[in-house]
Structure 1
Amino acid sequence: MKISDYELFEVPPRWLFLKLSTKDGRVGWGEPIVEGMAKTVRSATSELIQRHVLGRNPLEIEKLWQRMYRGNFYRGGPILMSAISGIDQALWDIKGKEMGVPVYELLGGRIRDKIQVYQWIGGDKPSELGTDAEEKVNSGFKALKMNATSEISRIEPPAFMDKVCDRVSEVRDSVGKEISIGIDFHGRASKTTAKKLAARLEQYEPMFIEEPVRPENNEALEKIAVHTETPIATGERMFSRWDFKNLLEEGSVDIIQPDLSHAGGISEVRRIASMAESHDVGLAPHCPLGPIALASCIQVDATSRNAVIQEQSLNIHYNKGNDLLDYLSNPEAFEFQNGYIEIPKSPGLGIEIREDYVREKAKENVDWHNPIWHHEDGRLAEW
């Protein structure tokens, strides 16, 4: 068996799909994407496949992963690791289908029957969240996530902090204490403001606070942690086990959030999950992406004892025009019941891609980029 061909499809709302084919007709799907940099990742994915994958045995996943990573003098980073991630997902999909088993069986077998998922509420600039939260809970979700704030300066007055707390209070009052609420700082705050917000938000008992500072400033997490008992989560902008190594050793993070389309795919995130378990740190894979990325996450969740919850993008504010289930001929694979998703039993990644629909949507002009925000004085603000 040899890899003989590949195709890449940029599709709305902001995703990039990879179809990897073997000479004997076996097909695997992956999702190599950096949101807002699809064309760049598309080029990197093509280059890696042509140099390291075409003509080779797709069942030798680790050998190919090592070639793609170590076969380049310059390694890591969002572009190269996202390209490797999508290729890795497609290789596991092929191998699972060839063996007639879900990917998790090839990773040692599942340890759970289902994984809890959370639902996003609100948008980039959160407002009027109570009603939205109540609707999501009434539809069965037991965990929610919201953005804490929009633009935020290095130092903010008490009134600003009050507004943030009021939004979280509105959600907590709407859904009660039976529901978990994650609060995403999105790396928008300085350590100064993050310390204050973390302390003030503790009264609402968040499930976690996410990316209280940008990953470049992860050394500040230790200082933030002493101001709160709320679990600290981060990791969506970290791209390999080496990026996570120091973070785990420092001991200031409670939940890591590697992205299966950014952090080396199934192969690497499985290793990162094991590293985290050895440091008593939970796993909650980042996934505001498409169905292939989510299917890959679930395969890792199925085998990881420290997996606590799974992000998914159904009805997220980014998904305009197309949503998570549109590209599947078996949307029941992602049926959420009582806040959980069942671990799939179908071979490979457990999903069936509507290839004709993918080809149709790939004809559209997809050019998503994240917003550029500014403060009142004209300075660039963190999105």
Structure 2
Amino acid sequence: MKISEIKVLVTCPGRNFVTVKIVTDAGVYGLGDATINGREQAVIACLNEHVVPCLIDRDPQDIEDIWQYLYRGVYWRRGPIGMAAIAAIDMALWDIKGKIAGLPVYQLLGGRSRKSVTLYAHANGETIDETLENAAALMDQGFKAIRLQSAIPGLPVTYGVLGEQKDYFELQGNRPLPPEEEWSTKKYYKLVVELFKKAREKFGPDVHLLHDVHSRLTPIEAARLSKLLEPYDLMFLEDACIAENQDSFKLVRNHTVTPLAIGETFNSIWDCKELIQNQWIDYIRAAATHAGGITGLRRIIDFAAIHDVKSAPHGAPDLSPICFAAHMHLDSWAPNFGIQEYSGAVNEQTAKIFKHAHEVNDGTAFVSDAPGLGVDFDEEAAAEYPYKRSYLPVSRLEDGTMWHW
């Protein structure tokens, strides 16, 4: 069996998705997700110009060798664009392998470690009361773990709270340029402590509560917030500060016992090696699409298991249902699985393009036993929604200084 064709397909059913379809001379095909939000065309060019020509006529079952070829075989290793390209190829090859074997991917990884995958949902609101009302509605649906985000009084826009806008396209208006948002740590501190104080008073101790700082704090500010939130027993505090300098989390860890999670922008084991081996974090949140696919993320998960760090893969709306399926298979297998982020059901247009039988019920996900990843892609439906340039926002302090997004 040989790879005969590789298609790179982009569609925008509300947001952009980049999909790789590997077709073999036996007619078996596999799908992978290569979406880099706001840099979609860069990974498309990387795939079409540099990766695809190298893989035609190769054996699609040589997953490990192809992964090493794409990673070791270039001088410019790592980085979000290159690793997303590798990730999409890798997912598609695992999909093909499963279809050939007649088995779901989790069986190829070693089988199940659990019956279902626990999810955490997002409760956002313009006010604390609205956030808590939305959290209560999610609890009624069966979710036992909920991320809380609320608008910060005194700031025009807050991460995770889009107001009347449905997505970042609407924030950009008629000009597709990055919207700019203001940030104030002082205003944020007051809001977030009150949010979790009221949440515990309302919901009691049993529901798991989470929060995403989105890297807006310095290490010492993150340490202070983590300490302030200790009485409210968070499942974890996500992205408390930037970890380009991994030692930053040593400072945070030394000041608090609030569990810490990070990793959604990580591209390889090297981005989190010290964080994991020093146990400065409790959950690693790398995504298959951004960290080298199933092969790359499995390495990170295995390394984390040695150091009692749990997996909690990123699950943002800009990761396609193909990535969600890859996570479901990894989550079902991983012995050190912690929890899976779930940003909600996809819209009608996306569901028309990406078809699957994976189920979400009572706050948990149930992976399909279909061979491979269990997702199909309707090219005709995808063509109805052409690419639309978009950016994530940028952040500035109130005095205009550029800050972390």
Query: How far apart are the structure 1 equivalents of 2:209 and 2:30?
Result: 35
SS of the residue corresponding to residue 42 of structure 1 reads: helix
SS of the residue corresponding to residue 246 of structure 2 reads: helix
2:323 counterpart of 1:293: yes
Partner of 1:310: 340
Partner of 1:163: 191
SS of the residue corresponding to residue 75 of structure 2 reads: coil
Q: Which amino acid aligns with 1:39?
A: Q
SS of the residue corresponding to residue 20 of structure 1 reads: strand
Q: Which amino acid aligns with 2:134?
A: D
Q: Which amino acid aligns with 2:391?
A: H
Partner of 2:3: 3
1:89-238 pair list within 5 angstroms: 89-122=91-124, 128-147=130-149, 150=158, 151-153=182-184, 156-157=185-186, 160-238=188-266
Query: 1:126 deviation in Å?
Result: 8.2
CA offsets per residue over residues 186-231 of structure 1, 9 Å max, x none?
A: 1111112111111111121111011111121331111111222111
Q: Percent identity?
A: 34
Give the direction of change, closer, same or farther, for the CA distance of 1:160–1:94 in structure 2 (3 Å limit).
Answer: closer
Query: How far apart are the structure 2 equivalents of 1:322 and 1:70?
Result: 40
Q: Which amino acid aligns with 2:333?
A: T
2:349 counterpart of 1:350: no
Q: Is the 8 A contact 2:6 2:52 kept in 1?
A: no
TM-score between both structures, scaled by the size of structure 2: 0.86
SS of the residue corresponding to residue 6 of structure 1 reads: strand
2:395 counterpart of 1:367: no
* Residue number among 376, 379, 382 corresponding to 2:401 in the alignment: 379
Query: 1:374 deviation in Å?
Result: 2.2
Query: 1:50 deviation in Å?
Result: 2.5
Partner of 1:76: 78
Q: Which amino acid aligns with 1:177?
A: P
* Residue number among 300, 303, 328 corresponding to 2:354 in the alignment: 328
Partner of 2:69: 67
Query: How far apart are the structure 1 equivalents of 2:105 and 2:191?
Result: 45
SS of the residue corresponding to residue 39 of structure 1 reads: helix
Q: Which amino acid aligns with 1:347?
A: P
Partner of 1:261: 289
Query: How far apart are the structure 2 equivalents of 1:147 and 1:216?
Result: 24
SS of the residue corresponding to residue 329 of structure 1 reads: strand
Q: Which range moved further: 106-115 or 201-210?
A: 106-115
Query: 1:123 deviation in Å?
Result: 7.1
Q: Is the 8 A contact 2:118 2:340 kept in 1?
A: yes
What number of residue pairs does the alignment pair up?
A: 372
Partner of 1:277: 305
CA offsets per residue over residues 90-129 of structure 1, 9 Å max, x none?
A: 1111111111111121112222221101112227998831
The alignment's C-alpha RMSD in Å is 2.2
Query: How far apart are the structure 2 equivalents of 1:123 and 1:55?
Result: 52
Q: Is the 8 A contact 1:113 1:343 kept in 2?
A: no
Give the direction of change, closer, same or farther, for the CA distance of 1:266–1:160 in structure 2 (3 Å limit).
Answer: closer
Query: 1:323 deviation in Å?
Result: 6.9
Query: How far apart are the structure 1 equivalents of 2:188 and 2:98?
Result: 51
Query: 1:372 deviation in Å?
Result: 1.9
Query: How far apart are the structure 2 equivalents of 1:67 and 1:381?
Result: 37
Query: How far apart are the structure 1 equivalents of 2:216 and 2:404?
Result: 5
Query: How far apart are the structure 2 equivalents of 1:258 and 1:177?
Result: 28
Q: Is the 8 A contact 1:215 1:237 kept in 2?
A: no
SS of the residue corresponding to residue 315 of structure 2 reads: coil
SS of the residue corresponding to residue 211 of structure 2 reads: strand
Q: Which amino acid aligns with 1:36?
A: G
Give the direction of change, closer, same or farther, for the CA distance of 1:45–1:215 in structure 2 (3 Å limit).
Answer: farther
SS of the residue corresponding to residue 10 of structure 1 reads: strand
Partner of 1:30: 32
Give the direction of change, closer, same or farther, for the CA distance of 1:100–1:48 in structure 2 (3 Å limit).
Answer: farther
Give the direction of change, closer, same or farther, for the CA distance of 1:93–1:163 in structure 2 (3 Å limit).
Answer: same
Query: How far apart are the structure 1 equivalents of 2:272 and 2:183?
Result: 27
Query: How far apart are the structure 2 equivalents of 1:14 and 1:286?
Result: 17
Q: Is the 8 A contact 2:243 2:249 kept in 1?
A: no
Query: 1:37 deviation in Å?
Result: 0.7
Q: Which amino acid aligns with 2:355?
A: S
Q: Is the 8 A contact 2:125 2:134 kept in 1?
A: no
Q: Is the 8 A contact 1:118 1:339 kept in 2?
A: yes
